[in-house]
Amino acid sequence: MSEHSAALRTGVRRLIPRWELDHLRGLGCARIGGAAALTVCGALTVTLGGSSAKTYAWAAAFLLCAVPNAVVGVWELRLARSSSR
């Protein structure tokens, strides 16, 4: 990356690779979709898995993976929206 193209990007955008910055909207939607799928997996595990500690541990693992995906997905969508203005 040349110094000129790095100078055009400010703040957090300097931390994100150029190819990812060009596809933020798609990546954000994919992360939110993945978070939704993990949430469904967690809900199905609790619903159909019985009442053992292992069931709740798996459900918690699915939901703990879903939260950061959703947060980063929303952040990427907001970043994409602010860069398109």
Q: Nearest 5 degrees, angle CA 78-CA 60-CA 51?
A: 145
- Tokens representing residue 76 in the block: 């990427």
Q: Where are the domains of the chain?
A: 21-84
32 within 8 A of 15, measured Cβ to Cβ:
no
pTM of the prediction? 0.79
| Tens-place pLDDT, residues 44-70 | 999 998 899 999 999 999 999 999 999
Residue-wise over 10-48: b if at least 16 C-beta within 10 A, else e?
A: eeeeeeeeeeebeebeebbeebbeebeebbebbeebbee
Q: What's the rounded Cα separation, in Å, for the pair 28 and 33?
A: 9
Percent of the chain with pLDDT over 90: 59
